Amino acid sequence: MISYYVGLDVSKATVDVGFLPATFPQFKISNDPDGFAQLIACLDELEVERVLLEATGGYERALFKTLQLRGLNVIRVNPKRARDYMRSMGTYAKTDRIDAQKLAKFARDIEDLPPVEPNQARDELGELIKLRGNLVKDRDSNKRRMQQTTYRKAISDYANHITYLNKKIKALEASIEKASNALDQEKASRLRSVKGIGAITCGTLMASLPELGRVTGRKIAALAGLAPYNNDSGKKSGPRSIEGGRHAVRCALYMSTWSVVRHDPEVKAEYEALRARGKLAKVAVVACMRKLLVRLNAMLRDGSKWKEPRSQVPAT
CB 27 within 8 A of CB 15: no
pLDDT of residue 311: 44
Q: Output phi, psi for 86, to 5 deg.
A: -65, -40
pLDDT of residue 191: 95
pLDDT of residue 111: 86
pLDDT of residue 313: 47
pLDDT of residue 266: 87
CB 209 within 8 A of CB 223: yes
Predicted confidence pLDDT, tens digits, the chain (316 residues):
789 999 999 999 999 999 999 999 999 999 999 999 999 999 999 999 999 999 998 899 999 999 999 999 999 999 999 999 999 988 888 899 999 999 999 999 998 877 788 899 999 999 999 999 999 999 999 999 999 999 999 999 999 999 999 999 999 999 999 999 999 999 999 999 998 999 999 999 999 999 999 999 999 999 999 998 888 888 888 888 888 889 999 999 999 999 999 988 888 999 999 999 999 999 999 999 999 999 999 999 998 888 755 544 455 4
Q: Output phi, psi for 229, to 5 deg.
A: -105, 145
The terminus-to-terminus CA distance of the chain in angstroms comes to: 41
| pTM (2 d.p.) | 0.85
* Whole-angstrom distance, CA of residue 308 vs CA of residue 152: 54
* Whole-angstrom distance, CA of residue 281 vs CA of residue 260: 15
Question: 288 vs 195, 212, 269, 282, 291, CA distance in Å?
Answer: 14, 17, 10, 10, 5
Query: In the chain, what are the domains?
Result: 3-109 (3.30.420.40), 128-207 (no CATH), 209-311 (no CATH)
* Whole-angstrom distance, CA of residue 202 vs CA of residue 213: 13
Contacts 24+ apart (CB under 8 A), 115-122: 116/210, 116/211, 117/68, 118/65, 118/68, 118/69, 119/183, 119/210, 121/179, 121/182, 121/183, 122/183, 122/206, 122/207, 122/210
Residue 237, H or E segment? strand 236-237
